[in-house]
Amino acid sequence: MGPRFVVLAVMVSAAGCAGSQEPAALIRAREGLASAERPSGDLALRCVPEDADVYLDGVLQGVCGDYAGTPRGLRLGLGLHQIEVKKQGYWPYTTYYQPSGARARLTIELRTVGASEGNPP
């Protein structure tokens, strides 16, 4: 008799909720929590020189000017990513970035090969 009572209670409870709708604020809150659990991001790049190559996790994505944030940035998925910016005649730049769900901006100024520490390019 006990198991029948539990099954019946669950069925009545589920039937009572079927006709009601959740408030829009609750739906938006759930969507926000779901996206926070799967952080991705958009990384805007500002580079000197603008035509330096951008690599995401070792794969060429285009040139830095393509990801200046207008109209788009470098789209990143889950986890930690390696970002490299390279151009012949310049020292390469490498960093690691883990998106937090917000848009971020990275400013990179490559240094010419042969430039000494005391003399900027």
Give the CATH number for residue 63: 2.60.40.2070
Does any domain span residue 99? yes
Q: What are the phi and psi torsion angles at 88 (to 5°)?
A: -60, 135
Domain-embedded: residue 47: yes
pLDDT, one tens digit per residue, over 44-80 is: 999 999 999 999 999 999 999 999 877 778 888 888 9
Does residue 3 lie within any of the structural domains?
A: no
Q: What is the mean pLDDT of residues 31-40?
A: 59
Q: Which residue has the higher pLDDT, 1 or 43?
A: 43
Q: Kindly report the number of other CB atoms within 10 A of residue 39's CB atom.
A: 15
Domain that holds residue 88: 39-109
Q: What is the pLDDT of residues 93-114, one digit of tens each?
A: 999 999 887 788 999 999 999 8
- The reported pTM is 0.62
Number of domains in the chain: 1
Q: Is residue 10 part of a domain?
A: no
How buried is residue 88: exposed, middle or buried, by Cβ count under 10 Å (0-12/13-18/19+)? exposed
Instruction: Classify residue 119: in a domain, yes or no.
Output: no
| DSSP state at residue 21 | -
